[in-house]
């Protein structure tokens, strides 16, 4: 039985302690339900040993939310330009009122934690996350089956469970998942793209992509810069990636002379590391501030305050708790869908919906592995989609290259551009006609259907140049940097410019773009119709995934932005 003892919870935003009385009846633990049946530790992580029982861990409890179906319907209405509710976005308080867990859910979970002596917890405005600190011994008792171990990779050290965990049946129905047990940080996408770019270096042939090249290709003039006071944009960094203010200033002094710009980030949310700048972080910041020029920029940096934290999940929790957020966020981060639990991905999708109904645009890189490849055994393979790129509730950005490496010409597929079909999420209504048209148009040349799920969410949604960028890192200009980590902030910056003009006209921010993007049917975008991306190296597909085609395709989406036309189209109410 849970005693009537107040439990202390702290709001992330205010850091004020307050007490919530727990009026619980007794709980009868009738059984256990196991989570994450398969726990796979990637080979690049070295096992150090079992964690000391007294070591402190921080775990995140995702409480079941209410009205998720209504949240999805609300997102559809406020994002569909044909809806009478288009643009009527919600405040954080309104989102909180919609999805906040029931009183019963909150009480059951807190009672369960309290019964194990766990009282050091943080909550958020929406009350759907709890982050609690406890010893490893208590965590293993709370979550039977879990066994916490320490793993290292390069200079990173994390604590995760090497075995599945379970919770009591009575609690299971009130939880989506517990974070901080199984997910190990993946390799950064930029590490993959650097390797692929090295194979196509042509010293002395291509001078490389710079802000001036991007502005020329996408038709941004020197006056296409931000002026609205209530506009901002953001990039999010994980995996111990940091940007350097000195690198950013140097980059802008070298490449930003032809347009008005900021040379400093206005706000850093989180803790910047003290080591060398990361390629991923430098690329993101330098290029969102080049296309989204003169717009206030934030950096969310989430190395994790503790070895047991998951930085991506930390970022999602922050979005749930901040009432004042930038309108556009670009993220160059992803995992293989099959490496994540469905419960985890479904809950993250709900978090994306919560952002979308508030008018926030979330852009994710499509990845740098083409269609991907998973070996099923006995000589059988399948394509391997990436998440969050495969989420129906984000805008996913693929990659292109110049057809002629000597000139600013039309674009073709960058063979690393991630794309394909989700094996978890069904195809959203907004894209069914576009995808069906593609599948019919190229039916004769499609890969075997055993490799992919034609009824799944198809991605990417659009694209931009992803090949041969210049980046300043550790005060040195570095050429030939490639990947959808480059194309995503480039598109994000242009959407921020469009938001700027919308806000000046008294219009709401673009918010979740996809329903409107697909209704444009390629209008105001440069269609990419040449090239294929990579996939499995086997006899059936021989390394070739999907290929670009007229209109939408699962390599470059609808194509790349023609900024003046896209601005004019999206300025219409």
Catalytic residues: 280, 284, 485
Report which secondary-structure segment, H or E, holds 345: helix 342-356
Q: Which residues of 239-271 are buried (b: 16+ CB within 10 A; e: fewer)?
A: bbbbbbeebbebbbeebbeebebbeebeeebbe
Q: How far apart are CA 297 and CA 471, in angstroms?
A: 18
Strand pairing of 56-63 and 129-135?
Answer: antiparallel
Q: Where are the alpha helices (DSSP H) in 391-483?
A: 432-441
Residue 191 token pair:
């590490």
Cβ atoms of 139 and 113 within 8 Å: the answer is no
Residue 250 token pair:
């140097």
Tokens 């950096």 appear where? 299
Residue 511 token pair:
């918010």
Q: Which residues of 339-368 are buried (b: 16+ CB within 10 A; e: fewer)?
A: bbbeebbebbbbbbbbbbbbbbbbbbbbbb
What ranges make up the beta strands (E) of 191-339?
232-237, 267-270, 296-301, 328-331, 335-336
The three-state secondary structure class of 311 is: helix
Tokens 């309108």 appear where? 327
Q: How far apart are CA 91 and CA 73, in angstroms?
A: 16
> Angle, to 10 degrees, between the axis of helix 342-356 and the axis of helix 68-79?
40
Q: How far apart are CA 195 and CA 491, in angstroms?
A: 23
List Cβ<8 Å contacts ≥24 apart for 468-471: 468/197, 468/200, 468/206, 468/208, 468/209, 468/401, 468/405, 469/208, 469/209, 469/210, 469/283, 469/287, 470/208, 470/209, 470/210, 470/255, 471/251, 471/279, 471/282, 471/283, 471/286
């Amino acid at each position: 039985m849970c005693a009537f003892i107040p439990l202390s919870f702290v709001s992330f935003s205010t850091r004020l302690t307050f007490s919530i009385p727990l009026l619980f009846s007794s709980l009868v633990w009738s059984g256990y339900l196991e989570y994450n049946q398969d726990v796979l530790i990637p080979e690049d992580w070295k096992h150090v040993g079992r964690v000391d029982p007294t070591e402190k861990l921080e775990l995140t409890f995702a409480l079941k939310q209410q009205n998720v179906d209504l949240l999805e319907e609300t997102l559809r209405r406020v994002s569909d330009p044909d809806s009478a509710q288009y643009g009527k976005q919600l405040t954080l308080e309104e989102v909180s009122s919609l999805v906040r867990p029931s009183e019963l859910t909150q009480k059951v979970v807190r009672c369960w934690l309290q019964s194990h002596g766990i009282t050091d917890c943080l909550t958020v405005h929406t009350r759907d996350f709890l982050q609690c600190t406890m010893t490893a011994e208590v965590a293993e008792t709370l979550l039977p089956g879990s066994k916490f171990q320490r793993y290292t990779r390069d200079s990173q050290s994390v604590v995760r469970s090497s075995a599945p965990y379970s919770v009591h049946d009575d609690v299971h129905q009130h939880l989506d998942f517990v974070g901080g047990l199984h997910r190990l940080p993946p390799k950064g996408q930029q590490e993959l793209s650097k390797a692929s770019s090295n194979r196509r270096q042509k010293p002395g042939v291509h001078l490389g992509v710079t802000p001036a090249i991007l502005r020329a290709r996408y038709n941004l003039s020197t006056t296409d810069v931000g002026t609205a006071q209530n506009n901002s944009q953001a990039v999010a960094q994980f995996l111990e990636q940091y940007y350097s203010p000195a690198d950013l200033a140097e980059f802008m002094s070298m490449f930003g002379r032809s347009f008005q710009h900021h040379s400093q980030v206005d706000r850093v949310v989180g803790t910047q590391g003290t080591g060398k700048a990361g390629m991923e972080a430098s690329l993101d910041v330098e290029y969102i501030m080049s296309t989204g020029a003169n717009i206030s920029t934030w950096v969310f940096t989430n190395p994790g305050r503790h070895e047991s934290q998951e930085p991506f999940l930390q970022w999602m929790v922050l979005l749930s708790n901040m009432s004042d957020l930038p309108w556009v966020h670009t993220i160059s981060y992803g995992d293989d869908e099959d490496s994540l639990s469905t419960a985890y991905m479904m809950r993250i999708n709900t978090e994306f919906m919560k952002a979308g109904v508030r008018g926030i645009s979330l852009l994710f890189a499509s990845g740098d592995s083409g269609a991907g490849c998973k070996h099923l055994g006995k000589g059988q393979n399948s394509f391997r989609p990436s998440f969050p790129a495969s989420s129906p509730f984000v805008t996913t950005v693929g990659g292109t290259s110049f057809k002629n490496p000597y000139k600013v010409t039309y674009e073709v597929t960058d063979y690393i551009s991630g794309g394909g079909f989700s094996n978890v999420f069904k195809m959203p209504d907004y894209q069914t006609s576009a995808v069906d048209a593609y599948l019919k148009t190229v039916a004769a040349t499609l890969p075997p259907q055993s490799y992919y799920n034609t009824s799944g969410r198809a991605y990417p949604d659009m694209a931009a140049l992803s090949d041969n960028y210049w980046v300043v890192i550790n005060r040195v200009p570095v050429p030939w940097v490639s990947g959808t980590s480059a194309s995503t902030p480039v598109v994000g910056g242009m959407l921020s410019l469009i938001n700027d003009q919308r806000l000046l006209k008294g219009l709401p921010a673009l918010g979740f773009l996809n329903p409107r993007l697909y209704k444009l049917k390629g209008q105001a975008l440069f269609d990419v119709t040449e090239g294929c991306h990579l996939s499995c190296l086997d006899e059936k597909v021989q390394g070739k995934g999907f290929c670009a085609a007229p209109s939408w395709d699962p390599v470059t989406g609808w194509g790349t932005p023609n900024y003046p036309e896209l601005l004019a189209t999206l300025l219409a109410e």
